[in-house]
Structure 1
Amino acid sequence: MKLGMKIAALGLISLMVLSGCGSSEDGKSANDSGGKKDEKIIVYSNSVSNGRGDFLKEKAEEKGFKLEIVDLGGNDLLNRVIAEKDSPIADVVFGMNQMMFSKVEQEGIFESYKPKWLDKVDSSLVNKDNKYSPLQEQRVFMIYDANKIKPENAVKDWQDLASKSDLKGKYIVPKGLGGATANAVVYNILMNYQDEKSDNGISKEGWDEVKKFFKNGVAPSEGQSEVAELANGKVDYSFTWLSNIPIVEESLGIKLGVVNPSYGVPQTVEQVGIIKKDKMNAKVKEFVDFLGSTEVQSEWAEKFGSAPVNKDAQGSVNSRIAEILNETTPQDNDYDFINKHIDEWVEYIELNVLGN
């Protein structure tokens, strides 16, 4: 009986010791990071289509990261991150431009972090509080079929396009303003007509130009992209973004010409930020270091035609992308001004232009 009691006591002590060890390990993890070191990193992004998400998951797994990627459009991504402010699900978000990230920052959603690769980036692109960090540059511009139109015969800018009677119905306009690319087309025009005395910061002349642009253009047909409508000959002009050029040229068998207005083209920078949580994922900062690293950004540039801001990765930029970067000039935009007014511009256009 006594022997049995001793064995039971020893068993209880052993159980307590094992439990104590488990608590100690959990406590260490919680103190260090607030999360389990092998748990999945939940990534929200609008920049993982066309095989980019699969590439990222494979590269990440090689480095010991387990990713769960949620693919969302730009505005949907912005709205979801803000909607989940009080009960965040994502650990990290990347792909939105600096204006969208600024809106999220204003909500107090981001955790400050300075990635190890940030010293390889032009300091003018860096958020002063390190709430988010730049990854890749994008530019948005008008395009045409270079096999049909010679550069010297192409229109000079959006206003020129909208004013030519022979091009009425022969160019693509955004179907809606739910994405960053469509918005960029609009403010590429509007930023030439700033007027601080106006309620929405734009003169009447500017709004007249935008109305004419939409009125004389045509939206893509259901199921067709802006570039596909150009490739199939329905229109003479359309629009797209920088990293999309080599992809669509190869897939659609078209050589695109790019219009560089005298006032330049919108230049935005995709960012990455860490979502603030009570229990932070143990490996999320390490993942951000990985995502913006020279190795990943170089391979991303080679495979998907991106333009990384990591200077050590810029040698891997696709030759076609490098060509377009040289052919286009960034518009000198006040992005704080755009960020302040973009929502009311979109609302005005949707109600008074697209709605008519």
Structure 2
Amino acid sequence: MHQIKRVLARTAVLFAVAFPALADSLVVYSPQGEENVHWITEEAKAAGHDVQVLRAPGGELFDRLVAEKNNPQADVVLGMVDTSMALLKKNGLFQPYVPVWAGDLPAQYKDKEGIVHKFWSTPIVIAYDADKLSAVGAPKSWLDLTKGQYKGEYVIGNTAWQTTRVYLAGILARFLDDKGDVTQAGWDFLGAFYANAIVVDDADARKEAYKSGGAIINLNWFGGVTKDAKELGMQFKVIDTVGGTPVISEGVAIMAGTDQLEKAKAFVDWFGSADVMAAYAQKFGQVPVLPAALAKSPPEVQANANLVKAQPIDWDAIAPRLDSWLQRVELEVR
């Protein structure tokens, strides 16, 4: 416990240096990419919102938010995935607010307390290089990946990466007992899953695995597959897997300790609106979950919304268990 506290303290210091106090601007914490953050900031400014978006990887932001619980520096959290938002909500970091656009959200994208609302979703998919693997030879489900024919053909990333965390959660969610614990069969499967993979800890090693290491199967968020196809020159095809594909959604919530509540409400109302979400979809190809926004999105984005069948996952139930699962992965499985 003392070690955890020291890590959080160091994280808080590092962020304090990187992110100085920001006058009266609305401060938004987000793990979105640099280009995404730039777009959000500029569009918000044009709409009359004085916003400073401070970006960092999702795990680092989560640690900082926990470290700052008694002295919050953020006003709004935007773009963290289901598990992180569920834990932050459970820890009392957010306050209730129902945005003006939330009434039309499908039930799975809002919680009963009216605290966290989701704005777009991303499937974590299996894709394969169609130049090197046929549709017949490609895996049909996540559980197929442990077959000998796929040894060394897929990459497992760092467990600190949001994408890795999500597909590991999706796999383990298939092996739960009545109490919600992972069965021994689940851990045995995960051991085989790792043993059959190329395991990497950084982005360079991951890229090298595809360039010269023999990897031809991509476990990634859908936008990442598209990006990889361009950067690696691979013709990736996405598989609509048997048993479903883990789908994550990103949420927005207002911090419980904000001293700029009205500004925060106005920003959230603007950001999640149909017009802004449709414009974001046009720019980045992300699938909005608000029906009115999806209807205004480009045809290819609408098609992507139905690309795969979602795996049913209770993220609120899994979120409190995920860190202990991943710790076991690090200590016993890798």
> Which residue identity lines up with residue 184 of structure 2 in the other structure?
K
Deviation at 1:95, TM superposition (A): 0.8
Q: 2:181 matched to 1:196?
A: no
Does 234-243 or 216-225 show the bigger shift? 216-225
Counterparts of 2:297 and 2:189 in 1: how far apart (Å)? 36
Correspondences of 1:189-228 after superposition (within 5 Å): 189-196=171-178, 201-220=181-200, 222-224=202-204, 226=206
Counterparts of 2:139 and 2:220 in 1: how far apart (Å)? 16
**Does the Cα contact within 8 Å between 2:127 and 2:238 map onto a contact in 1?**
yes
Q: Which residue of 1 aligns with 2:160?
A: 178
Match of 2:28 among 43, 46, 50: 43
Counterparts of 1:278 and 1:342 in 2: how far apart (Å)? 28
Does 120-129 or 344-353 show the bigger shift? 120-129
Match of 2:66 among 78, 82, 90: 82
> Which residue identity lines up with residue 192 of structure 1 in the other structure?
R
How many percent identity over aligned positions? 26
Counterparts of 2:56 and 2:115 in 1: how far apart (Å)? 21
Q: Secondary structure at the match of 1:85?
A: coil
Q: Which residue of 2 aligns with 1:17?
A: none
Change (3 A) 1:266 1:228: farther
Match of 1:108 among 92, 96, 101: 92
Structure having the higher Rg: 1
**Does the Cα contact within 8 Å between 1:95 and 1:270 map onto a contact in 2?**
yes
Misfit runs of 4+, over 6 Å: none
Q: Secondary structure at the match of 1:224?
A: helix
Deviation at 1:104, TM superposition (A): 0.9
Q: 2:278 matched to 1:298?
A: yes
Change (3 A) 1:157 1:227: farther
- TM-score normalised to structure 2 length: 0.86
**Does the Cα contact within 8 Å between 1:136 and 1:309 map onto a contact in 2?**
yes
Correspondences of 1:60-75 after superposition (within 5 Å): 60-75=44-59
> Which residue identity lines up with residue 219 of structure 2 in the other structure?
F
Correspondences of 1:1-356 after superposition (within 5 Å): 39-47=24-32, 49-164=33-148, 166-174=149-157, 176-196=158-178, 201-220=181-200, 222-224=202-204, 226=206, 229-230=209-210, 234-277=214-257, 279-354=259-334
**Does the Cα contact within 8 Å between 1:227 and 1:238 map onto a contact in 2?**
no
Q: Secondary structure at the match of 2:45?
A: helix
Q: Once superposed, what is the RMSD of the aligned Cα atoms?
A: 2.3
Unaligned ranges ≥5, structure 1: 1-37
Counterparts of 1:231 and 1:298 in 2: how far apart (Å)? 35
